[in-house]
Structures are given as structure tokens and as C-alpha cells.
Amino acid sequence: MGKKILMLHGLAQSGAYFASKTKGFRAEMEKLGYELYYPTAPNEFPPADVPDFLGEVIADAPTDGDSNGVLAWLEDDPATNGYFIPQTTIDYLHDYVLENGPFAGIVGFSQGAGVAGYLATDFNGLLGLTAEEQAPLEFFMAFSGFRFRPQQYQKQYDTHPISIPSLHVQGELDTITEPIKVQGLYQSCTEDSRTLLMHSGGHFVPNTRGFVKKVGQWLQDVA
């Protein structure tokens, strides 16, 4: 059995939708012996309740599902005009790892990359997993990722800098996750463990053969 990768989708997507949008990436990972797992966020909100400051758009959301709600890993916090990662997300991912893991790495896109980055500071500790249940992660990839902005999360990043090999992918035309946000997560990693990779497109996970080959080469170099 190959090693497993946990894939966290973006706002308003689902695991199945994210899988369909990452076919080229998935094919490259499978060539390297990895098996990709795509959970779906457990939180669903009316579109009107999704705050603009999360910095994402929902126009690209799947429309063939059974619900008109917006799936998300994060939740709006009206008291602070911010957001937080709800316990439902933590509990769901804890159970998902127990049922489907252990995982060698974690990959996220947009909001999913933000959550993946936060969890990468202390994956087992934040999800309440023992070393027997989940071995230390070997790598982390963020496509259009960002560091959580609310004040209550800053100590976690500052005292637990991400030290596993990390790849931060930014689109030159991405106006949703701006460069300063990508840099925020990039700077949350130790200097000798992080790599920044640019692509010429916008807010998506590139699937072109040339690009996924670069990602695959990075993974081979660090794995």
C-alpha cells in the first residue's frame, strides 16, 4: 500500500469536486506511489453568511450537489469580525485520520491550504492524535495558502513554526489569495524547510504536465 496524502478543498467546494479539479496533480502523485484522500468539510452555511473577508469567491462552487449551502472548514465570528476553525472541523478531521490514515502529507487549496497550514504547526497535537495513530507528517503543500489572521492563532504559529518540508504555490494572476497572504504562511515555516513555486495562472491548482512534474520533483527531493 502506498503512502497517503490528505487533500483539503477550498471554500464552497467538496472533496469530490476538488478531486475532479486536481486530476493532473493526482496522476503525478500516484505515479510516485501516493494515494490521495479527499474529505469534505463538515460545515455548511447559507451563501449570504459567508463573510467577504475570508478572501475567497464561491462562483466556482459545484452546482450538482443535493444542497444549496456553502461548504467550509472555517466559520464566521461576528463578535470579532473575523473567523475561527470550529470544533466540528477538528473533530471531523480527527475521525477522518483515524478511519483513513495515517497520512504522509497534507495538501490544501485556498481555505483548505489555510487550514492545512495551521494544522501543520502541530498536526497531532491540534487534532488530538497519538504517535501510534498518526506518525509525524513528512511534508505539506499549500496552493494559494494563507496564515490565519485572527489574533488568537498567532501564538500557535510563532511558537510552533512549521518545520516539515513545505511547498507554497502561488499564481501570478491570483487576485483572491494575494502575495502578502501567501508570504504570511511561507514566513511561518522554518527557513530551511520552505520552498516557493510560482505558476502563471490564477486561483487554482495547476494541472499542466510541466508544472505537476516540478511538484513531483520537489516531493522526490524532500521525501
Of the residues 9, 168, 199, 203, which is catalytic?
Answer: 203
Asked if 20 is an active-site residue, the reply is: no
Asked if 67 is an active-site residue, the reply is: no
Asked if 94 is an active-site residue, the reply is: no
Of the residues 14, 166, 174, 199, which is catalytic?
Answer: 174
Whole-number Å distance between alpha carbons of 121 and 162: 5
Q: Where are the beta strands (DSSP E) in the chain?
A: 3-8, 34-37, 43-45, 70-72, 75-77, 82-84, 105-109, 139-143, 166-171, 194-199
Of the residues 110, 144, 166, 188, which is catalytic?
Answer: 110
| HSE-CB for 175 with a 13 A CA cutoff | 1
> Active-site residues: which are they?
110, 174, 203
